[in-house]
Amino acid sequence: MAEEKQGAYVEDEFRRDTRYIPTRITADGQPDGFAAEAGRYRLVVSRACPWANRTVISRRLLGLEGAISMGICGPIHDADSWTFDLDPGGVDPVLGIPRLKDAYEARPDGYKPGVTVPAIVDTTTGQVVTNDFRQITEDFATQWTAFHREGAPDLYPEALRAEIDEVQQLVYDDVNNGVYRCGFAGKQDSYDRAYDRLFGRLDWLSERLSTRRYLVGDTITEADIRLFTTLARFDAVYHGHFKCNRSKLTEMPVLWAYARDLFQTPGFGDTTDFDQIKAHYYGTHLDINPTGVIPKGPDNSSWLTPHGREELGGRPFGDGTPPGPPPEAERVPEL
């Protein structure tokens, strides 16, 4: 299945299919023969997808735009594939294909689990190299260092990796994937369990972030990127569409301030497209929203209001600097 619902039901509980392509792109090309090389690979994403949005943020913060090109699929797709309907003629200008499925099918191993974004395609062969969203961003931070911009932050500092891994696993289980377990629950009991886990973890995160600006250490790390993409979609889609309705993000003061702090940091808000986010969830998940009607709200201008998180200290980019403006072709609509 192409959409983010890719998975199965076990006792009416949604279980995400995590059989991702294990191939990695590394600095020296080991162990799979794919070396980090400027101009060779194309990152394919959708602005709507939170898993893909992570890779867009990481690529921008690290300044990898010049080394890794980016193809952007539209927010609505069919049951088979994400498509390049935002491009002239509906064809990706670099890969020359109308459907991301074509790059998956070019693989010699007959990969079956589904056509997902993000995906990194080797432009020399037209084949998807990897779609493992968790590994992609870690490798951006650690394997592509030769191509990082001057002043790029360390998003996965070695001294903090154990804590980052621990925190982001909790976030993944209960929040990133937890909203989907709520939205796609097959029975009341499954929904209730997912709902309680989700808001229990959000309460835990609120407490953790009440005295610290970022999740781990005093700078932005991989953990913050992974939490942000779910928070950015919370009021727009998860609160109503996925029935995550104990509280809106705007009603959780610590998390709302934290999310605004990140949104107003270069690399976060300027990679977030609320219109495409809503179009995807409400227009693709027709089993949940049969009419396909896309709500006009909420009013997103409040994302730009002061957050006051500077009082907690911390340095967003550590010893580094903010990225410059995004390339013209990659800009999202301003609020």
Residues that are catalytic? 49, 180
**Rounded Cα gap, residues 302 and 324, in angstroms:** 24
Residue 270, both tokens: 């300027």
Give dist(CA 289, CA 159) in Å, integer. Answer: 45
Q: How many residues are listed for the chain in this entry?
A: 335
Cβ-proximal residues to 76 (8 Å cutoff; 6+ apart), any chain:
85, 279, 280, 283, 284
Backbone angles phi, psi at 72, to 5 degrees: -120, 115
Does residue 51 have a known ligand-binding role? no
Query: Distance of CA 107 to CAs 122, 126, 131, 179, 223, Å?
Result: 10, 8, 12, 32, 31
Return the closest-CA partner of residue 51 out of 86, 17, 14. 17
- Looking at the DSSP bridge assignments, the partners of residue 26 are 35
Can you say which residues are annotated as belonging to the binding site for glutathione?
A: 82
Can you say which residues are annotated as belonging to the binding site?
A: 82
